[in-house]
Chains A and B, each alone.
Chain A
Amino acid sequence: MLKLFFHTQLALGFAQAAVAALAALTVVLLARRRGIRLESETMIAMARGLVQIVAVGSVLVVLLRAPRWTSGLLLAAMVLAAGATSARRAKGMPDAFRVSAWAIAFGAGSVVALMTFLGVIDTAITSLVPVGSMLIANAMNTNSLALNRFRSDVLAHAGEIETALALGAEARNSVSPYVQASFEASLIPAIDSLRSLGIVWIPGLMAGMLLSGARPVYAAIYQFVVLAMIFAASGLTSLIGTMLVRGKVFSGAEQLLLQPGR
């Protein structure tokens, strides 16, 4: 229907974005009716997302001609941005940015490096940057979920944690159940994505490969490859993030720093 009113590709794109944003805003309004306030965060996230992706789209032409080493720089910048975004989900957690950035850098970075070395990811900038960014973005989401869950659990169980400390437990052991729960919860989306692949959803990358003329079976296999890499990157990120963060909620004298109302 939009095609009847918008005749250029750019105008159509903006109209489609506006309609999709309207759908998202409707959800925000529904949430508000139930007393959940998401307005400002959602508006800012949508505006930022649109501006960022349009900016990247605009410079893509330049990127496609850039030397291969620039992929590394771009991916490193993405890791830093992902670390900053993820750290915001761990409000009040000491060193959240550093924990997130290291976890994503090692989690996603090692999978990107290994897979590129083995030839699973092509070294061309047109392949390395999009696939790498997918791994980083998913690692970021996983890290956010893990940190957010860990923070909530520690705040909700401060009494149990301090009881364990008071009974002579090592600080790291006193939060072990919450580290494990955070790790498991953070991987639910990645596991569900793998489980439902091809049945519930056909990812965009596969559709893109089909459109660009790849053989359907190869496109399907490569999609599994990408999702398996996403799982590996996400799992490693969550493992590293939760391991790093459990030490950050305690002082050197094994006192719980993250406390309700502090």
Chain B
Amino acid sequence: MKDINITDSMHLEDDDRITAYLKGQMTKEEEKQFLSDLENNPALKEKAIVTARLVKGLKQVGSAHDKDIRGAFLASSKQGAKAVAQTVIQDESTVISAEREQPAAASPRPIPMRRISSWIAIAASIIFVVRVGFVYNEYRVTTGLGKEYCNNMFSEHEFSRGASKGTESSSDTEMKLKQLFQDVKDNKNIEKAIHDMSLYWELSTMDIYNDYTDYSAEIGMNLAIAYLLDNDRTGALKVLTEMSSRFDSETAVGMQVRELKAKIEEL
């Protein structure tokens, strides 16, 4: 923790200088020095480029988002806009007032401390036993579901398209994925499989076409199953929810995704 703080403070000054440069808030002398430092300090240069990328990306996405919202306002009536503003406030007020209006419990009769501590000890033991049983059962059911789907997974395509895709890395991609999918099937190296497939899932769902785009269905499904094998329902549901918005319910993938999602939600 100490090291992180030291590192942070060392870099905060660089952050400030990059921001000041991008905002045009440097004096001529400071700017000259900054540009010269960029040439001589690779770490500062890399940081400055990444920050410029970040600012540009936020600008691009932000402008598109703002345009969208303007469109939404234009498609709405004045009454509609008023209602939206009121609803947002009321939604939160309802939660707050519900919290405030919790009925106060009637004042209990004073009970001897020894009796209280015995009750607490008994209750804690019961809760512990029940909780352990519940957690184990939850684990068994969740991982069991992962194993079940591992064996019954749809097969979108065999891995034989690398050469036809015409990119050198395609076969590498296939090899990597094949190994990861096998790991999921064998229920081994699950943590690594989740880590790697999370990245590939993100890549495969990007707007820009890349080596992973065509394998999106397999990556998503294997990732969801890996999460289940790791007893992580939330992770699995997150992937499956995104998959259901991407794959039509008429397709084999779409059907299986919805089926598995429903089963997890029922658990």
Please say whether chains A and B are actual partners in one complex: no
Interface residues of A (CB under 8 A from B): none
